[in-house]
Amino acid sequence: MSDAVLELSGIEKVYNRGEPGEINVLRGVDLTLNAGEAVALVAPSGAGKSTLLHIAGLLDLPDSGAVKIGGEAMQDLPDRRRTAVRRADVGFVYQFHHLLPEFSAEENIVLPQLANGVARGAAKDRARDLLATVGVADRAGHRPAALSGGEQQRVAFCRALANAPRVLLADEPTGNLDPETSDRVFGALMDLVRKTGLAALVATHNMELAARMDRVLRLDGGRLRAG
């Protein structure tokens, strides 16, 4: 039985198709991401890594090619089904945490679970467990403004994992942190991958962190290759 969680086959994406400014962003990208694996995605600015993450996370559709999550083809599903899969099976983390400022760290992790039909008590228990895993359990009652940048980003990881997704997609998740804090946040991410069997695709410019992941893939000229 395959351990593949996310599979991309022949993914192509063109912007301004047929116009003078046509841009071929992705040119037949293939990618397999396995359970318990952390893969670094490195690329020059403007190379299309965010586009690739959005397609992988079902936020955008490719012009051609196939996206599978858990072996199920996604590209031809109705919007409602794609939304349900994205909510249940995909977690996102961005460079800036985007936590809801009026809610505590714990509440930021509880809310996505409530939206997914989880009972409040169970949602709170999971939030506390996740915060403990990344070392910020004592900050559960604090709002984002009272947290450091590194603490906020660790809470953002927990929120992304609130509904126990199969795959985590992270776009420069440590890009606005100092080196020491970046290292701490990255360590928390890797702990989550190893302990939960999560499959993680992490876009980063930090080659030192990239080298600590299981594989490094480079996106250049619209194509993906081993880094």
**CATH number of the domain enclosing 193:** 3.40.50.300
Residue 110 vs residue 116, higher pLDDT: 110
Question: Residue 151 falls within a domain, yes or no?
Answer: yes
Q: Which residues contact 117 (CB under 8 A, 6 or more apart)?
A: none
Question: Residue 41 falls within a domain, yes or no?
Answer: yes
Q: Which residues contact 101 (CB under 8 A, 6 or more apart)?
A: 143, 144, 145
Q: What pTM value is reported for the model? A: 0.85
pLDDT classification of 1: cutoffs 50, 70, 90: very low
Q: Contact 89/77 with Cβ under 8 angstroms?
A: no
Question: Residue 146 falls within a domain, yes or no?
Answer: yes
Distance CA 136, CA 188 (A): 10
- Note the pLDDT tens digit of each residue in 169-220: 988 887 777 887 788 778 878 887 888 888 999 988 888 888 989 999 998 8
* Total domains present in the chain: 1
Question: Residue 191 falls within a domain, yes or no?
Answer: yes
pLDDT of residue 2: 56
- Note the pLDDT tens digit of each residue in 37-77: 999 999 877 778 888 999 999 988 888 999 998 888 887 88
CA 206 to chain centre: 16
Question: Residue 10 falls within a domain, yes or no?
Answer: no
Distance CA 66, CA 11 (A): 7
Question: Residue 28 falls within a domain, yes or no?
Answer: no
Per-residue pLDDT for 126 more than 90?
yes
Question: How many residues belong to the chain?
Answer: 227
Structure tokens at 216: 């490094």
Residue range(s) defining the domain that contains residue 106: 37-61+88-226
**∠ Cα 93 226 27 (to 5°):** 80
Structure tokens at 218: 């480079």
Question: Residue 190 falls within a domain, yes or no?
Answer: yes
Question: Residue 214 falls within a domain, yes or no?
Answer: yes
